[in-house]
Amino acid sequence: MAGEPQDDCLFCKIVEGHVPATIVRETESTVAFRDINPQAPVHILVIPKVHYANAAALATAEPTVAADVLREAQAVADEEKLESYRLVFNTGPGAGQTVFHAHAHILGGRGMQWPPG
């Protein structure tokens, strides 16, 4: 159910402090941490502390939740001194989502190809 921590969710466990992560920023509503399998020199995830399965579910949340994630993505990019970066939300296994807790990938520090994937 949206909003309730999920016992089997890795990111809920990070939010609760049960799984370690290299946290770079934390607010009342979000946590940002370095990806354990970086795909760029800078690869940081921003997640809402409240559980939503993916970006589609996040889109139906209170508007402040999605806005907080986007605001923190920009704050992380600023702190990392990224002039350019890619912001990615994977939604569903066919798009490459492997942890089913909404999260934004901030990728930067190198040129990005287009189209991606």
Active site residues: 103
Beta partners for 91? none
Q: φ and ψ at 106, to 5 degrees?
A: -105, 115
- Token pair belonging to 45: 């995830």
- Strand arrangement of the beta sheet that strand 23-26 belongs to: 23-26, 30-34, 42-48, 104-108, 85-88
